[in-house]
Copies of this chain bind each other. A is one copy, B any other.
């Protein structure tokens, strides 16, 4: 798939120009960062209608308070729901902190993409999201939890934010979709300490599942105003080593 095919395909699925751009920019950024499992393969995946596609659906903000919001995907793709949430937070950042719960929000793509936008706008962000059960217990049994990435992005007055975006799987489902990994490799990362990544995935799964008021895959986002700018000192101590999210 070429870049122009992405736009054409999305338009062909019925998305308007604004949503087409929102979706395409996410997929193109994923490709450019080498996260191909969140890139063009997902455009093809959308054409197979793995989810009930309603290109006209719009997410709803059900609750809006200074420190808390609850959104519902309302039939819109998770990508578009998160994009709307990010725009809303940047338009009205919290005085101190706000928790945003997004129910019926799937698929959510490369979580670091959304938190990076928030950090580029000066907001500290932490985001997790659930997906179908794909990771089993290290001792065996059925699949119990999604790969449930945790993305944390930290702004800095000195330049690029730091963006940490970690899936709890040894490989991502996107890599399986992209043909770069087999389903057998879709286990908690960590080898002999896989129980740690499994525990993180289960904790994040239940965090989301306990905060959504409608069952289904969802996302939980924390946004906060920074009180300090610790990134330049960390970069100085790292002395040129590549930090999470750097190109």
Q: Which of B190, B198, B199, B202 contacts A234 (CB 8 A)?
A: B202
Give the interface SS of chain A, mostly helix, strand, loop or mixed: mixed
Residues of B within 8 A of A241 (CB): 137, 139-141
Most buried by B among A67, A229, A243: A67
**Known: A170-B193, A192-B191, A206-B231. Contact between A199 and B164, CB under 8 A?**
yes
Q: Quick one: given A191-B190, A202-B244, A211-B124, are A234 and B165 in contact (CB under 8 Å)?
A: no
Instruction: Verify if A110 is at the interface (C-beta below 8 Å from B).
Output: no
Collect the chain B residues with CB atoms within 8 Å of residue A244's CB: 198-199, 202-203
Find out whether the CB atom of A152 lies under 8 angstroms from the CB atom of B206. yes
From known contacts A213-B227, A237-B144, A243-B202, infer whether A126 and B67 are also in contact, taking CB-CB under 8 Å: no
Interface residues contributed by chain A, number (CB under 8 Å)? 70
Residues of chain B contacted by A137 (CB below 8 angstroms): 238, 241
Say yes or no: A99-B67 contact (C-beta < 8 A), given A166-B199, A190-B190.
Answer: yes
Contact B228 A210 (CB under 8 A): yes
Nearest B residue to A227 by beta-carbon distance? B213
Q: Does A212 contact B (CB under 8 A)?
A: yes
Q: Which chain B residues lie closer than 8 Å to A139 at the CB level?
A: 241-242
Q: Is the CB of A162 within 8 A of B65?
A: no
Cα A113 to Cα B134 in complex, Å, equals 29
